[in-house]
Amino acid sequence: MRGLEPRSYPSIVAGVLLCAAVSDPVRETAPPPGPKPAHVTGVVLFASDFNRGDLAGWAADREHVWSVRRGVLRADLPDRKQERSFLYAGSQEWGDYAVDLDVCMMRGVDKGVVVRIVGDSGIGVDLRGPGYQDVLLHRRQWPLVKARVENANGAWHHLRVEARGTRYRVWVDGVLLLERSDGKQQQNGRIALAAYTGGVGECTVYYDNVIVTSLESRGAGMRRTAGGITAGR
């Protein structure tokens, strides 16, 4: 077999560099326009719609994952399996509360929220897309209950999680799908939004309209977190 002619080298190198420079089009595709915030009742402990363009009131566990684009929160992880990141907010003093949020997955499968986080333990809600089409409630790595629900990528979905006593309830797009008790988790703690590449090795996900409301009878012991309230629409 004849070797490559010397004059072919520059064109081959240029082609390689061009391919490397081309971004994944889906990764850079903006999500559809976000929905309006959900109507909630009760004492608001924390609210963030990201219209200010920053992460005020939030704390990330790693750099270069979380950012705000066009007034919505974006998480983008390297294309490797089992990469993950969490964005935390709130107070460990929070007891009974509900979390409402909107989420749109552009690349990948796993998205959701963790409630009642103390240390490295919490109750997670994983809304899983392509290949699963379900919602899973779990404590750390132990699954508690799941239900089937269609949640296509490239579309916004509304997630509501209630934590009251030992009881957890989960709604997806207005439908109650999960209800389960778990007495092993502490009944207080902050929240975190999740980004996870899982087995597919990719994750680009958007969040918006995060609202935490008290489920305490009179909001006892619940306070707004400093910096947690951002400009409303």
Which pTM was predicted? 0.84
**End-to-end Cα separation, the chain, in angstroms:** 67
CA dist., res. 86 & res. 36, Å (int): 24
Element (H, E) at 19: helix 9-21
Asked if residue 137 lies in contact with residue 125, where contact means CB atoms within 8 angstroms, the answer is yes
Q: Which CATH class is domain 41-214?
A: mainly beta
Tens place of pLDDT for every residue, the chain, 233 residues? Answer: 444 444 444 444 344 333 433 468 889 999 999 899 999 999 999 999 999 999 999 999 999 999 999 999 999 999 999 999 999 999 999 999 999 999 999 999 999 999 999 998 999 999 999 999 999 999 988 999 999 999 999 999 999 999 999 999 999 999 999 999 998 889 999 999 999 999 999 999 999 999 999 998 754 433 433 333 333 33
Domain ranges of the chain: 41-214
Query: At residue 31, what is the residue type?
Result: P
What's the rounded Cα separation, in Å, for the pair 175 and 154?
20
